[in-house]
Chain A
């Protein structure tokens, strides 16, 4: 999956598991950028009576680097707290929930949003930190309500009304939402983790089976999303709204993370636990699939604990010589002869994932943040959104410069894009004499998002499935 349960440690800690990050120029509000960071993956919609929620003991952070040094210039922090209205029931709700203040809604979450500006802006301390997660930012929103989970037609009869009420405009200019959504990521998990089989091409697999359409197990699952929409002028290094895609000012780096207190002291009488000590990062995410597919299993927990600025060196070497590029020719004998013969470091993947693509490689485009290798989503905010009717889910590889790896939109077909890149389709960007294998431009897992997965307005991920109707039988 993009980063759902991608590392041994975080797979045991779902509420802190950062599963996806998206960053794109808002299609319906192109003077802003929307950043989505997803947690609590693989939610079965019927998972009551304690439906899914954010962790009260987790610090959720979204980082923006606007000067290319792989350090955060702007950090948004989100902290939650759960309240019970009625302790004398086992129910999540005692009647229909028709508003965010409905007394029938028993178990609620509220949250605060803080921001830290580095380099003397706003509440910054004038000094750039290696890693700023002390929970001491300037509060820009407090006691903001999350929507309930989508339970069913009796409990949440007008869910979209509740979700819309949980979109909060902050006085500082941002718009935020935090709560359950439809998981927009699509992938044939059952097949790709069965020895990297791609059902449409599995007749060519080392252990062949008849070719078949892809199956997306995420299509019935929900996730929890932290969404923030920020005016572009609040994100760029000089406060401008750039119009020149080739200007360095136009590119921002984005990643997110979850942290827990270093020590938890558990009460022996069942009264929960209390934290002590500094926040320690337990999950992070920039580019989709980076930790999942690129980093080796023995290093995944460590990768989650460190910062993008620490990616140089060992993690960089995983990008330069990705294991999957060596596996593809073995698992699909005879299909990838050119890839099998290519033994150089993958400068194409290094650019896509770790530095951004410099100017002069894709005409009129760049998202280069400088030579410092660091895993971040890199978004060129001067590239306008592609109209919905002409957007291509293969993104930049298909000539749609508003899509991944220029940031990441909710509908981008990450599995197909990264499979094709790893299979060598992007090598000619840095080595024009290389001819990709014919299969490289065709690779996909055969999945596509169905209806209702997304919506055209903030927070762009669709209405979560309700537990009454899902699964349908």
Chain B
């Protein structure tokens, strides 16, 4: 993602509510706040044709970057970062 664009996204996301930011990243939002929140599971399919990937860019700043297709957007969402960090420490049974 271009540096300027990323900054502008962070700026926009920082001014928005957490819900608005999650709405802009539906795959992450669904995984993070759905009925099965926090429940470890085994993957049931292979890698999707166009994987949507989210990674924590900065725990301190609460930034999550989402890649999809050839696009990349970075959001500020401290609650989502906390959930992802909690999930990262869990083992899948």
Contact = CB atoms under 8 A, between A and B. Distances in A.
B70 A265 contact: no
A67 to B, nearest CB: 22
A262 B67 contact: yes
A263 B65 CA distance: 11
Nearest to B3: A130
Interface residues of B, number: 17
Contacts of A266: 47
A274 B70 contact: no
Contacts of B47: 265-267, 271, 273-274
B36 interface: no
B50 interface: yes
Contacts of B46: 267, 269, 271
B9 to A, nearest CB: 13
Given A274-B47, A278-B70, A263 B53 contact: yes
Interface in B30-55: 46-53, 55
Interface in A228-287: 261-263, 265-267, 269, 271, 273-274, 276-279
B29 interface: no
Contacts of B24: none
Interface string B1-31: 1100000000000000000000000000000
Nearest to B52: A276
A266 B53 CA distance: 12
A129 to B, nearest CB: 9
Contacts of B55: 263
A278 B67 contact: yes
A135 B69 CA distance: 11
B71 interface: yes
Given A265-B47, A266-B47, A271-B46, A277 B2 contact: no
A118 to B, nearest CB: 16
A454 B1 CA distance: 41
Contacts of A263: 51, 53, 55, 67
A10 to B, nearest CB: 21
Contacts of B48: 274
Contacts of A102: none
A134 interface: yes
A261 B2 CA distance: 14
A276 B51 CA distance: 6
B68 interface: yes
Interface residues of A, number: 19
Contact of B70 (A130, A271, A273, A277): A277
A429 to B, nearest CB: 38
Interface centre among A267, A269, A278 (most CB of B within 10 A): A278
A156 B24 CA distance: 54
Of the candidates B1, B68, B69, B71, the one having the most CB atoms from chain A within 10 angstroms of its own CB is B69
B2 A130 contact: yes
Nearest to B46: A267
B70 A134 contact: yes
Contacts of B72: 262, 277-278
Given A130-B2, A265-B47, A267-B46, A135 B70 contact: yes
Contact of A276 (B1, B2, B68): B68
Nearest to A131: B2
Contact of B67 (A136, A267, A269, A277): A277
Contact of A274 (B1, B49, B71): B49
B67 A274 contact: no
Contacts of B49: 274
Nearest to A266: B47
B51 A278 contact: no
Contact of B51 (A130, A134, A136, A274): A274
B3 to A, nearest CB: 9
Contacts of B53: 263, 265, 276-277
Interface of A: 130-131, 134-136, 261-263, 265-267, 269, 271, 273-274, 276-279
Given A262-B67, A263-B51, A276-B52, 12 more contacts: A135-B70, A262-B72, A263-B55, A267-B46, A274-B48, A274-B51, A276-B51, A277-B1, A277-B70, A277-B71, A278-B67, A278-B70
22 contacts: A131-B2, A262-B67, A263-B51, A263-B53, A263-B67, A265-B51, A271-B47, A274-B48, A274-B51, A276-B50, A276-B51, A276-B52, A276-B68, A276-B69, A277-B1, A277-B70, A277-B71, A277-B72, A278-B1, A278-B67, A278-B70, A278-B72
